[in-house]
Amino acid sequence: MSTMSWPQRLGWIAITVAVLVWSLFPVFSILMTSFKTPGGLFSGTLLPEEWTWENYGEILAPGGGAQTLFLTSLRNSIGISLIATVIAVVLATLCAYAIARLDFPGKRMILVTALAVSVFPVVSIVTPLFNLWRTIGLYDTWLGLIIPYLSLTLPISIWTLAAFFRQIPWELEQAAQVDGATPFEAFRKTVVPLAAPGVFTTAIIAFFIAWNDFVYGISLTSTDAARPVPAALSFFTGASQFEDPTGAISAAAIVVTVPIVVVVVIFQRRIVSGLTQGAVKG
């Protein structure tokens, strides 16, 4: 096993630190802005001259100017994103398994279609979708956002899971069926545990895509009934027309990051567990 020299280690450490600073500095800047007073927003310094929790009280405390708007939209984002993620992962698991294991006409066309849908510009279909949803009664509803979110999460989920299923030895399923398992039991007890790392990785990606959507959220909602957080942030206002709500928006951005961090931590543990349990001895 080769070892790196000290100059190589220092080089990698420097690269790692540079990447971390480049990635985390915007988050740190937003965090510091969330603790600034309205008068300190234009001080030109990174750290607040006067620390305050006023911005968090604005979005979380009862009586805060944006409390109802933010908490309602946060509930909408969590519910809609979770439902869209679960549906996308379940459907993608079945579809990807069929693509990886079965030989049928049009299999390649399904993958090509999924790829085409994933790269299709969302802006170009928002207006027709808006008119359709208004006609059939799905406008400003959870279902009216979940269905479009599936068009974003399902294609990438199918491609990701199909790659994982292709890596699982076909002989394992055959051995399970020889032992008396039905095809579905072989799939559930043999393939799914081995594909767990791919399933949870796909769930993370799908959740992030649904959570971060802005175009559908702002175009297909008009009230707090289904408006998600990214769209709700654009409706934040200050205490007066002369006050900038930058502090409240920064505080909301930090609070919205917390569920993302929680989801990543939970799924990372499951991914590591799945990798360990899914190891196959050669």
Residue 143 has pLDDT above 90, yes or no: yes
- What pLDDT band is residue 108 in, cutting at 50, 70 and 90? confident
Residue 274: what pLDDT? Answer: 45
How many whole angstroms from its chain centre is CA 182?
A: 35
Contact between residue 252 and residue 68 where contact means Cβ atoms under 8 Å apart: no
Average of per-residue pLDDT across 230-248: 74
The pLDDT confidence band at residue 281, using thresholds 50, 70 and 90, is: very low
**What per-residue string of b and e applies to 59-89 under the rule 16 or more CB within 10 Å gives b?**
bbeeebbbeebbbbbbebbbebbbbbbebbb
Say how far apart CA 192 and CA 199 lie, in whole Å.
8
Domain ranges of the chain: 68-277
For residue 110, name the pLDDT band (cuts at 50, 70, 90): confident
pLDDT at position 133: 94
Q: Are 87 and 180 in contact (CB under 8 A)?
A: no
Q: What is the pTM of this model?
A: 0.81
Q: How far apart are CA 47 and CA 22, in angstroms?
A: 18
Measured distance CA(154)–CA(51) in Å, rounded: 44
Pick the residue with more confidence: 10 or 41? 10
Residue-wise pLDDT for 112-142, tens only, equals 888 888 788 888 889 899 999 999 999 999 9
Q: Please name which of 259, 237, 260 lies closest in space to residue 248, comparing C-alpha atoms.
A: 237
Lowest mean pLDDT, pick from 51-60, 61-70, 80-89, 155-164: 61-70
Nearest residue to 26 via CA among 53, 55, 46: 46
Q: Report whether pLDDT(276) > 70.
A: no
Domain 68-277: homologous superfamily in CATH: MetI-like (1.10.3720.10)
**What's the pLDDT band for 164 if we cut at 50, 70, 90?**
confident
